[in-house]
Amino acid sequence: MAVLQTTFFSSALGMTSSLTAVLPQDAAPGEKFPVLFLLHGLSDDHTTWLRLTTLELLLQNRRLAVIMPNVHRSFYSDMAHGLKYWTYVSEELPKVARALFPISDRREDTFVAGQSMGGYGAFKLALSKPEQFAAAASLSGALDVRALRVLFTSGEYGDIFGDVNDGAHKDDLFAIAETAARSGEPVPKLYQCCGTEDFLYEDGLRFLRHAGKLGLEVDYEEEPGLHEWGYWNVKLPRILDWLPMEKR
pLDDT tens by residue, 129-178? 999 999 999 999 999 998 988 888 779 999 999 987 766 689 999 999 99
Question: What does pTM read for this prediction?
Answer: 0.97
* DSSP structural state of residue 87: H
Cβ neighbours of residue 228 closer than 8 Å, sequence gap 6 or more: none
Q: Tell me the domains of the chain and their CATH numbers.
A: 2-242 (3.40.50.1820)
Beta strands in the chain (DSSP E): 2-10, 15-23, 35-39, 65-69, 110-115, 135-139, 189-195, 218-223
What is the DSSP code string of 128-168? H-TTT-SEEEEES----GGG-GGGS-TTHHHHHHS-TTSSS
Distance separating alpha carbons of residues 145 and 120, to the nearest angstrom? 9
pLDDT tens by residue, 37-61? 999 999 999 999 999 999 999 999 9
